Homo-oligomer: A and B are copies of this chain.
Amino acid sequence: MRITSQREIILEELQRLKTHPTADELYEVVKKRLPRISIATVYRNLERLSEAGMIHKLEYGGRQKRFDGDTSPHSHVVCVRCGRISDVETRDDMEILDIVVDSKGYQILKCGVQFEGICPFCQERSKSKKD
C-alpha cells in the first residue's frame, strides 16, 4: 500500500483524535490540512487502512460507522442517545472466552465486552431539559 499524503494525513489525524470519529467528522478535520481532498478518498482510505489492520472500524449501533486509530485491545462504551463512543478502562483480561459453553458451530475469532450507556453530554442535556 502506497503512502500518499492523503493516506498519511488521514491516519495521522485519526490517531490524534480520541473521539472515534465518523468518516465525515474526520473529513472535516483532514480538510483543514488538505482543502482539496474528496470525501470519497476518506471513505476509501478508512476502508483500506482497516483491512490492513492499521485502524479499527467500529460498527456498533447507530447508522454511521466510527473509526479508532488506537488498535490496542480495549473496550468501548456507546452512548444510546447520540452514538458517541469512548474507551472504557478495564481490569486485565479475565479470560472472557472461557464463558462460552456452545458457540453453535461458529469459529470464534475474537470477543470483547461492549458497554452501553449515556455520555456526559447527554446526561447534561437531560438535566437541563428535564424531559
Contacts and interface: CB of A to CB of B under 8 A. Distances in A.
B117 A109 contact: yes
Given A62-B59, A89-B101, A106 B113 contact: no
A111 B111 CA distance: 13
Interface in A57-98: 59-62, 77, 79-80, 86-91, 94, 96, 98
Interface string A41-63: 00000000000000000011110
A103 B107 CA distance: 31
A90 B101 CA distance: 5
Interface string A100-123: 111111111111111111111001
A114 to B, nearest CB: 5
Count copies of this chain in the complex.
2
Give the size range of A's interface with the partner.
35 or more
B115 A100 contact: yes
Contact of A115 (B86, B108, B123): B108
Contacts of A87: 104
Contacts of A99: 90-91, 94, 113
Interface of A: 59-62, 77, 79-80, 86-91, 94, 96, 98-120, 123
Q: 7 nearest interchain CB pairs?
A: A59-B61, A105-B120, A89-B102, A106-B117, A108-B117, A89-B101, A90-B99
